Amino acid sequence: MTRLSAIAHETRLAIFRLLVQQGPDGMPAGEIAQRLAVAPPTLSFHLKELERAGLIRATRKQRQIIYAADYAGMRALIDFIVRDCCQGHPELCGGISMSECGAVNCVREIAGE
């Protein structure tokens, strides 16, 4: 439930979606702030919340901290959301299954892209 509440905030959802689209290499905090027009202190707060929820991970690369989506955490969130799909009729969920599609494609599918 922590993961779901972490992306319930508009800014955190935007950060998470950006990092999912970026792929496993991630991006530095400064670039995230610039792309989303978020002040660095505000961004730092939201990044910590997403990291605490297990949806992103931080890696130090020299003097920068690179943030990337934690795909295992994302899979756990998606599994939680669709676990009891449609009163025992998971086919009504449109076949969303982490085992059937790649992590990035699943997020796009769920988001309706």
- pLDDT tens profile 1-20: 589 899 999 999 999 999 99
How confident is residue 54, by pLDDT bands cut at 50, 70 and 90? very high
* Average pLDDT taken over every residue of the chain: 84
Query: Other C-beta atoms within 10 Å of 43: how many?
Result: 19
| Residue 105 vs residue 76, higher pLDDT | 76
Cβ atoms of 64 and 28 within 8 Å: the answer is yes
Alpha helices in 1-113 (DSSP H): 2-6, 10-22, 29-36, 40-52, 71-82, 103-110
Report the pLDDT value the prediction gives residue 104, as an integer from 0 to 100. 47
Q: How far is CA 26 from the centre of its chain?
A: 11
Q: How confident is the model at residue 27 (pLDDT cuts 50, 70, 90)?
A: very high
Sign of CA dihedral 66, 68, 72, 77: positive
Q: What is the pTM of this model?
A: 0.76
